[in-house]
Amino acid sequence: MTTKDCAYPQTTLAPVPEKTVRKVATISLLGASVEWYDFFLYGAAAAAVFPSVFFSGDLPPLVAIFASFATFAVGFIARPVGGVIFGHYGDKLGRKGSLVTALVLMGLSSALIGLLPTYAMIGAWAPAMLVTLRFLQGIAIGGQWGGAMLLATESAPKNRRGFYGSFPQAGAPLGVILANIALLIVSSSMSEESFMSWGWRIPFLLSVILVGVALYVQLKLEETSSFRQLRELNEAATADDDTPKAKPTSKRSPVLAVLASHPRQIALSAGAFIAVQVVFYILVAFVIAYGATREGLDISRDTMLSAVLIGTLIMTPVIFISGALSDIYGRRPVIMVGATLLALWSFAVFPLIDTGQFLWITVAIAVAQVCVAIMYGPQAAFFAELFSTEVRYSGASLGYQLGAILGGAFAPLAATALLVEFGNGLAIAAYMSAACAVSLLSVFLLAETYQRDL
């Protein structure tokens, strides 16, 4: 249902001042960056630290890495759960409160990971507790994205929605950068023994900063204009006893409502997101293990972390550029160009890494990340525009998080299995390219949205 489908009392809100829009976008970027820092810190640690800290030392290295990446996947499985929970309350009670709760949950669960006892201390209870906290991380990130994205897009002017929507999108690569910098600083400032013993905990304990970000959002930001207008419409309709049908939303759960009214959009938006997830998580998590375990390579952890860091740094401004371009040319053309380029470049990634030379490793990762950024930048605005206001948080979150499960959850696991089976990166490249084909088809089947009014 949209506002055009109902005869309910009309209400208008003044346009949000550009200065306020910039403030909201910047804060959504800050919150998303620290939140993704927590989520990606786990991914980097899953490749570099957790196999030896939380799993039995009797396991072969590749098996321990596989087990560690399995706990990494748990966070993705929990993301749709978070999308459902926070989407319900975000559509019913407001975007801001849901975002604040998600930020607090992520900050606390991540900090607790830094306090966990190891396998050597308590045995199997250590990975069990790790999985539990990872699940809570997944719930938090499942709720955070929808809140941060809607704060930016629902406050932005129509002709700049793609650009301002790219701000929370940029939080993902900035989170990777922050996580890798934190690990690099800590690991380079102490011995390997100290780092593996206690140093790795420091970046996780710093996650309590996110609680402070949440408090700032709660105190300094207003609810989005779209949701405030919807709330005013509801209040006006409820107060009018003579027009009971005028109420623009029902008491039905927004999640059930969007599943009934927008199933195609949810399915195709999930498909549109698969390529970003598959390739991104292979590039920021799996390649670190690939460099260390690929026979004949023996590339150091710091070398791979540095290449990932540089590639992700180059990626970040492209997210803003592609978001802005989507305001001019539309969401679909920009995303489809990125998917096509990424499908082709996938076959160059692992041959370049196999050279063992830092320059070519960095080029391989950086070019792939640029292609990912071309796709990722417009997606916040694109997903927001696919759904009507009363179910937008739920619908966009479900599509995004289902795509995360289908793509990112098992990407490091699948890549590890393909490496074990084939012994090289060609099969992994084919897997990445196939994911791009799925996203390309999904975006092709969706309608263009950039001229829609939120």
Integer CA distances (angstroms), 141 to 98, 268, 454, in order: 11, 21, 24
Within 8 A by CB and 6+ apart from 293, the residues are 61, 62, 65, 419
Token readout for 26 is 């910047």
Candidates 192, 48, 189, 200; CA nearest to 116 is 200
Integer CA distances (angstroms), 403 to 155, 272, 368, in order: 25, 7, 19
Token readout for 1 is 């249902």
Ranges of each domain in the chain: 17-234+252-445
Question: Could you identify the residue written with the tokens 């979150």?
Answer: 397
Give me the numbers of helices (H) and strands (E) for the chain, helices first please: 21, 0
Question: Could you identify the residue written with the tokens 């190891």?
Answer: 118
Within 8 A by CB and 6+ apart from 15, the residues are 157, 225
pLDDT at 439: 97
pLDDT at 270: 95
Below-50 pLDDT ranges, the chain: 1-11, 242-249
How far from chain centre, in Å, is Cα 434? 21
Within 8 A by CB and 6+ apart from 111, the residues are 204, 205, 206, 207, 208
State how far the Cα of 407 lies from the Cα of 379, in Å rounded to an integer: 15
Q: Taking CA 404 as the corner, what is the angle to CA 128 and CA 201, rounded to the nearest 5 degrees?
A: 40
% helix, strand, coil for the chain, step of 5 = 80, 0, 20
Within 8 A by CB and 6+ apart from 77, the residues are 135, 138, 405, 409
Under a CB-based contact definition with an 8 Å cutoff, are residues 405 and 396 in contact? Answer: no
Candidates 332, 311, 393; CA nearest to 82 is 393
- For the segment 252-278, what is each residue's pLDDT rounded down to a tens digit? 688 888 888 889 999 999 999 999 999
State how far the Cα of 151 lies from the Cα of 228, in Å rounded to an integer: 12
Under a CB-based contact definition with an 8 Å cutoff, are residues 409 and 276 in contact? Answer: no
Sign of CA dihedral 43, 45, 47, 52: negative
pLDDT at 14: 57
pTM of the model as a whole? 0.83
Backbone phi, psi, residue 183, to 5°: -65, -40
pLDDT at 290: 84
Integer CA distances (angstroms), 168 to 80, 153, 171, 381, 439, in order: 19, 10, 5, 11, 21
Integer CA distances (angstroms), 365 to 61, 221, 250, in order: 24, 37, 47
CATH class of residue range 17-234+252-445:
mainly alpha
Half-sphere exposure of 69 (CA within 13 A, CB side): 26
State how far the Cα of 48 lies from the Cα of 195, in Å rounded to an integer: 11
